[in-house]
Chain A
Amino acid sequence: MLEFEKPIAELEAKLADMRHLAEANKVDVSEAVASLEEKIERLKKETFENLTRWQRVQLARHPDRPYTLDYIYAMTDDFIELHGDRTVADDKAMVGGFATMEGQSFMFIGQQKGRNTKERQLRNFGMANPEGYRKALRLMKIAEKFNKPIVTLIDTPGAFPGLEAEERGQGEAIAHNLREMFMLKVPVICIIIGEGASGGALGIAIGDRVLMLENSWYSVISPENCSNILWRTWNYKEQAAEALKLTANDMFSNGLVDGIIKEPLGGAHTALSEVAETLKETIFKNLKELNAQSAEERISDRMDKFGAMGVVAE
């Protein structure tokens, strides 16, 4: 539990106690319950409407936060996971496959984090190797071949900075994805669901729509690493988070993403099915708009959009 979640949790525990006692002793406490409920709602609102940037980063990394496969299973009726890059290995940090929602087929791709120690190791903390990026691109090409829209779910602390990753061309793998994703003829919708760190995130985030969940973050570097490089210590992560302007609000107001997807008060981890439903609606709404365009129009808009990003003085 995060520090700023504690006061709310305490009140919620108190409320549960009160109800329990009332039940056991058959006394009417409805007035007290109502006032406590109101107090909780107020505190929640106050807390979650005034989150600092660093607190959002903490929410994005919340141990209970839903991961890629949680959303896929919650949103889709049927999901067939597909494995491997056909060259080196199957990267468990990058998952993907065909799924159906409301009778429409999609290709889903995303980084996958683990929930416990064993899983975290298996998923390499959501840090993909080059074969992960190559697997992602292979699946995108399959989707293109069979004319199915692509949805990518981004949640990574970065591409894996390991020895073998370098040997197998981490930089080349990501670069290749960036270029190829611009040319995909099918609609591509990218959603940052948790952490969107640097090239490791961008490597599957070139799309007609790039959206962020309200409590996700997306930037060129994590606040910790930024602090380490600019201040030469890990201690300035709060300042770094402020300076990087990495929240959904920041990225949207700077024109670097296309939209924000609201989360319930308390964050996505308090209501998975509600968030999954919102995601599903958002995907269909955007797909409808994108289907109204030709492939050429989509590609050209996609390029123009990213081409306009950046601020220079002339």
Chain B
Amino acid sequence: MPWFTRKEKGIRTPTEAKKELPDGLWYKSPAGKIIHMRELKKNAYVCPDDDYHVRIGSKEYFEILFDNNEFEELDEEISSANPLEFVDSKPYPERIKASQKKTKLKDAVRSAHGKINGLDLVIACMDFSFIGGSMGSVVGEKISRAISYSLEKKIPFLMISKSGGARMMEAGYSLMQMAKTSAKLALLAEAKVPYISLLTDPTTGGVTASFAMLGDFNIAEPGALIGFAGPRVIRETIGKDLPKGFQSAEFVLDHGFLDFIVDRRNLKRKLTSLIKMLKEK
């Protein structure tokens, strides 16, 4: 007979107390590897011990890719309206405001023009921290305008996707962003301006079913979850557990939907080579 028994099993941390990204000095990967934040940053936010790619946002991607972190941000001021006056547990504008306050972002995508190793590139990069990187009118509009900018200036376009899919609170409008961005990509393709789509963890739903899968080159980060339907939905549909590695970047590559998987530490170098090859004769 033990001296005392534990009433509850396991550690019970309330959800709001759990953290995805550390705000402290140290980072712990899901496998338990610990690294100093300064080292992590120097390593393109990849854990050196287990190559785990930490989820990062537009600020970090721009820092990693643009020379000297110099770039001109496009359409910075666009933010969400509330066309449907959507209310669930709280009104949509309050949700937006809370997210803006928490993330210091306007919405779930930022776009910019800069140089990587001296080559011009337009990048649109999604931020998962903003309502799950969900696509509403702002995301669709900013991506469309970034593509138009690429088209007009004949500069290659890089889309970095990281999104749970559509933003329900914009319902029909959200759905039509898939159409809108695909229309612009049709024009970009016709003008033969290169489009590279980088899929990062996670890329699912309406984003996968539109611009993310339409690259001349579809590339991904190792281990990223990539799919149309979410794993939970599929599990419920088929009533079986999913095989290990299902919907991982490696799985998607094996099934023929990615050109290659790239370690974030090599991303800039590899993008540079690719863009150079397309540019030179």
Q: Spell out A's residues near B (CB within 8 Å).
A: 159-163, 165-172, 174-176, 178-180, 182-183, 198-199, 202-203, 206, 218-221, 226, 229-231, 239, 243-246, 250-251, 254, 256, 302-303, 306-307, 309-314
Collect the chain B residues with CB atoms within 8 Å of residue A311's CB.
Answer: 81, 83, 137, 173
Please tell me if the beta carbons of B242 and A163 are within 8 angstroms of each other in the complex.
yes
Q: Closest residue to B92 on the A side, CB-wise?
A: A243
Contacts of A256 in B (CB 8 A): 172-173, 176
Please provide the 9 A-B residue pairs with the shortest distance between their CB atoms, ordered closest to farther: A161-B229, A171-B208, A310-B137, A178-B182, A171-B228, A311-B83, A170-B228, A309-B176, A174-B209
Q: Please, how many angstroms separate the alpha-carbon atoms of A172 and B215 in the complex?
A: 10
Question: If A163-B234, A171-B228, A245-B84 touch, does A220 touch B79 (CB 8 Å cutoff)?
Answer: no
Q: Tell me if A309 and B186 are in contact (CB < 8 A).
A: no
Interface centre among A166, A198, A230 (most CB of B within 10 A): A166
Bound CA span A226–B88, Å: 10
Q: Are B209 and A182 neighbours in the complex by a CB distance under 8 Å?
A: no
Enumerate chain B interface residues (CB-CB to A < 8 A).
Answer: 77-81, 83-84, 86-89, 136-138, 140-141, 144, 166, 168, 170-180, 182-187, 189-190, 205-206, 208-214, 227-229, 233-234, 237-238, 242, 246-247, 255-257
Where chain B touches its partner, the secondary structure class is helix
A174: nearest chain-B partner, CB-CB: B209
CB distance from A239 to the nearest CB of B (A): 8
A244 to B170, CA, bound (A): 8
Question: Cβ of B210 and Cβ of A175 under 8 Å apart?
Answer: yes
Whether B166 and A198, one on each chain, are in contact in the complex, defined by CB atoms closer than 8 angstroms, is yes
Q: How far does the alpha carbon of A219 sit from the alpha carbon of B167 in the complex, in Å?
A: 11
Q: Determine the distance from Cα of A174 to Cα of B206 in the docked complex, in whole angstroms.
A: 9
Known: A161-B233, A199-B228; 13 extra A-B contacts, CB below 8 A, are A159-B209, A162-B238, A166-B229, A167-B255, A171-B227, A174-B209, A199-B178, A199-B206, A220-B172, A231-B88, A244-B171, A310-B180, A311-B83
Are A174 and B228 touching (Cβ within 8 A)? yes
Indicate the member of A175, A183, A206, A229 with the most B CB atoms within 10 Å.
A175
Chain A nearest CB: distance from B226 CB in Å? 8
Most chain B CB within a 10 A radius of its CB, from A198, A218, A251: A198
Contact, CB under 8 Å: B88 / A230: yes
Are A250 and B182 within 8 A (Cβ)? no
Q: Which of A160, A203, A219 contacts B172 (CB 8 A)?
A: A219
Interface core residue of B86, B175, B213 (most chain A CB under 10 Å): B175
B78 touches A175 (CB 8 A): no
B172 engages A221 (CB within 8 Å): no
Q: When chains A and B are docked, how far (Å) is the Cα of A302 from the Cα of B180?
A: 10
How far apart are A91's CB and chain B's nearest CB, in angstroms? 15
Choice from B89, B180, B209, B234 contacting A175 with Cβ under 8 Å: B209
Given A303-B187, A307-B180: A175 and B237 within 8 A (CB)?
no
Asked whether A245 lies within 8 Å of B212 as measured between CB atoms, the reply is: no
Asked whether, in the complex, the Cβ of B141 is within 8 Å of the Cβ of A313, the reply is: no
Which of B138, B171, B187, B210 touches A178 (beta carbons < 8 Å)? B210
Q: How far is the CA of A245 from the CA of B83 in the complex (A)?
A: 11
Closest to A303 in B: B183
Could you list 12 A-B pairs, sorted by A, with CB under 8 Å?
A159-B229, A161-B233, A166-B234, A170-B228, A170-B229, A199-B228, A221-B168, A245-B172, A306-B180, A309-B176, A311-B137, A312-B137
In the complex, what distance in Å separates the CA atom of A218 from the CA atom of B177?
14
Smallest Cβ-Cβ distance to B79: which chain A residue: A313
A166 close to B247 (CB less than 8 A): yes
User: Complex formed: what's the CA distance from A58 to B43 in Å?
Assistant: 54
Q: Whose C-beta in chain A lies nearest to the C-beta of B207?
A: A171
